[in-house]
Amino acid sequence: MDDQQLLRYSRQILLPQIDIQGQQRLLDSRVLIVGLGGLGSPVALYLAAAGVGELLLADPDQVDLTNLQRQIIHHAADIDRDKVASAAERVAAINPQISCRQLPTALAGEALLHAVGEVDLVLDCSDNFATRHAVNAACVQLGKPLVSGAAIRLEGQLSVFDPRRDDSPCYQCLYGEGDEQALSCSEAGVAGPLVGLVGSLQALEALKLLAGFGEPLVGRLLLIDALDTRFRELRVRRDPGCRCCGAGA
């Protein structure tokens, strides 16, 4: 790190849990963010500000007026632009020292495996079960840690799945095959600050994994009740018969 980097990241470096070694690990890291909506917005902004060396931004959608209530990385002038282009512009404005790659397509199949294989960690900020299951399967196959968040109405969830650990469940251990008929935010609504909260916690979990400090949410599911401002934690065990990561695979 040069003097400017030491100054930029000085408040993080002051933390004994991070220090210069942890900051260097962040600078050397590469992360894939799947989805640049309500969750991906704070994730991208905070990881860029923290100095994660390279961000791969993946989202096939364009900015819509209805996004602006919660997707804080996009501005009114970005309507009809690719979300990855809008997000990359904000990321560069916050920290021009990091690299940012735009993937303006729906990742699937070999393209998804290639993107996951390039990075140290994946953040699932998507809004549908099909994508979540596909990202989880790719992370299990390639041994990449996955930070998964979700929010709808006034309820949020967060967990970390790390296939490098023998005791870690995967996303499918927790949710099974999933419910393809589950309501989306466009149908059920969502509070803007809630997705900001969940996304910020995802970013924090990513920093912990990348820099190597603290205890990540592996084997734990954090439940957020924004209506009454309550947090609950559930233990989650690996399913030995899981069709993705267990004997049933």
What DSSP assignment string belongs to 215-246? ---BTEEEEEETTTTEEEEEE----TT-TTTS
Model confidence band, residue 247 (pLDDT cutoffs 50, 70, 90): confident
Model confidence band, residue 212 (pLDDT cutoffs 50, 70, 90): very high
Query: What digits encode the pLDDT tens for the residues 60-89?
Result: 999 999 999 999 999 999 999 999 999 999
What is the pLDDT, as a whole number, of residue 218? 97
Q: Among 18-27, 36-45, 111-120, 167-176, whose mean pLDDT is lowest?
A: 167-176
**Tokens in use for 29?**
């890291």
| Homologous superfamily, domain 3-235 | NAD(P)-binding Rossmann-like Domain (3.40.50.720)
Mean pLDDT of the chain: 95
Is 181's pLDDT higher than 90?
A: no
Q: What is the pTM of this model?
A: 0.96
Q: Are 34 and 131 in contact (CB under 8 A)?
A: yes
Domain segments of the chain: what residues? 3-235
Is 184's pLDDT higher than 70?
A: no
What is the pLDDT, as a whole number, of residue 187? 73
When pLDDT is averaged across residues 53-65 and rounded to a whole number, the result is: 98
Q: Are 102 and 54 in contact (CB under 8 A)?
A: no
Model confidence band, residue 207 (pLDDT cutoffs 50, 70, 90): very high
Query: What digits encode the pLDDT tens for the residues 88-127?
Result: 999 999 999 999 999 999 999 999 999 999 999 999 999 9
Q: What gap in Å lies between CA 190 and CA 243, rounded to an integer? A: 32
What is the residue whose two structure tokens read 């205890």?
A: 215
Model confidence band, residue 176 (pLDDT cutoffs 50, 70, 90): confident
What is the pLDDT, as a whole number, of residue 178? 66
Is 180's pLDDT higher than 60?
A: no
What is the pLDDT, as a whole number, of residue 38? 97
Model confidence band, residue 177 (pLDDT cutoffs 50, 70, 90): confident
Is 245's pLDDT higher than 70?
A: yes
Q: Are 57 and 213 in contact (CB under 8 A)?
A: no
CA torsion sign, 119 to 120 to 124 to 125? negative
